Amino acid sequence: MAETEIPSMAAFDDAPDGSSEDASYELNITQSWRGRDYQGGLMPLHWAITVKTASIDGKPVGNVYNAAGNIDSFMYDAPVNVLLQDANWRGNLKICSIPQTYLPELTRLFSEVPVERYNPDWNCQNWVWGAVHALRESGHEALKGFSMRDLRSKMLELLDSWEAGDI
C-alpha cells in the first residue's frame, strides 16, 4: 500500500458528493507483501483495514487503518486520501459496508483498538482482528461467523489467487 497523499478531492474520478443518505463505503482487509527478513525468511503479510473513498486515474484512493511499526514501536496509524494499491498489494477481503457519515466514528473506534509492543506473538494481523471485533461490538456484522483461523484461511486464499494471476 503506497502512502502517497493525494492533494485534492477535485481530481478524483468518483469523489463522493454526499448527496445520498444511503451512500456507503466498503471496508476491506487489505494485505500487502513485506518481503523477507534479515535471515531470508518470509515476513508475515501486512494487514490493514482500508476504505476506498474515491479513485484517481482509475486507482483506488482512501483511508488506511492499521498497526504500523515493529515489535518495539507498534502504533495506530491512519493515513487518509492515499493510494490503496501498489506493487505489494496481495488482495482485499470485504468486511462490511458503513454509511459515509460513519467515517469519523470509524476513525475514533479504530483509534481505541489496543496496540501491543514487545510481544513476539502480536502484529498488525492481530490489530486487524481486534478492529473487526470493535466493529462487531458497535453493531456491524463484520465477517459474521468468522474466527481468526477462518480469516487467515481466507487471506491465504486471496494470496493464492494473486499468485495465480486471478486478482
Q: pLDDT tens digits, residue range 52-110?
A: 999 999 999 999 999 999 999 999 999 999 999 999 999 999 999 999 999 999 999 99
- Whether 42 is covered by a domain: the verdict is yes
- Whether 36 is covered by a domain: the verdict is yes
Domains in the chain: how many in total?
A: 1
- Whether 4 is covered by a domain: the verdict is no
- Whether 3 is covered by a domain: the verdict is no
pLDDT of residue 29: 98
133 vs 12, which has greater pLDDT?
133
pLDDT of residue 42: 86
pLDDT of residue 1: 52
Domain extent for 49: 9-163
Helices (H) and strands (E) in the chain, counts: 3, 6
Dihedrals phi, psi of 122, to nearest 5 degrees: -120, 140
| H/E element, 111 | helix 103-111
- Whether 148 is covered by a domain: the verdict is yes
- Whether 117 is covered by a domain: the verdict is yes
Q: Which residue has the cell 494473486?
A: 162
- Whether 34 is covered by a domain: the verdict is yes
pLDDT at residue 15 greater than cutoff 80: no
Q: Rounded mean pLDDT of 10-15? A: 42
Q: How many residues belong to the chain? A: 167
Q: Is there a contact between 65 and 133 (Cβ–Cβ < 8 Å)?
A: no
Q: Return the closest-CA partner of residue 100 out of 29, 30, 19.
A: 19
Q: Which three cell numbers stand for residue 17?
A: 458528493
| H/E element, 131 | helix 124-137
- Whether 2 is covered by a domain: the verdict is no
Q: pLDDT tens digits, residue range 109-161?
A: 999 999 999 999 999 999 999 999 999 999 998 998 899 999 999 999 999 99
